Amino acid sequence: MGLDDKIKHGAEEAAGKAKEFVGDKTDNERLEAEGQAEQAEAKVKQAGDHVEDAAHDAKTAFTG
């Protein structure tokens, strides 16, 4: 997993947080829900990043 993907996924989460915040402050429930959904999606992608990193670390540990 490249650093660019990790940065992209972090930015997606931040954008979701911003949407949720704006939705909350403007009483726009749809925008707030979209922000929450985007955050959840980004967190799933970040979890995938962590799994891939762990697999790489395990492979490196066994192969030297």
Q: Which residues contact 12 (CB under 8 A, 6 or more apart)?
A: 38, 41, 42, 45
Q: Could you please report the per-residue DSSP string of 4-60?
A: HHHHHHHHHHHHHHHHHHHHHHTT-HHHHHHHHHHHHHHHHHHHHHHHHHHHHHHHH
Query: What confidence score (pLDDT) does residue 16 get?
Result: 98
* Residue numbers of the domain that contains 13: 3-63
Band the pLDDT of 2: cuts 50, 70, 90.
Answer: confident
Query: What confidence score (pLDDT) does residue 3 get?
Result: 86
Separation between Cα atoms, residue 39 and residue 45, nearest integer Å: 10
Q: What is the pLDDT of residues 3-59, one digit of tens each?
A: 898 999 999 999 999 999 999 999 999 999 999 999 999 999 999 999 999 999 999
Split into its structural domains, the chain has a count of 1
Query: What confidence score (pLDDT) does residue 1 get?
Result: 61
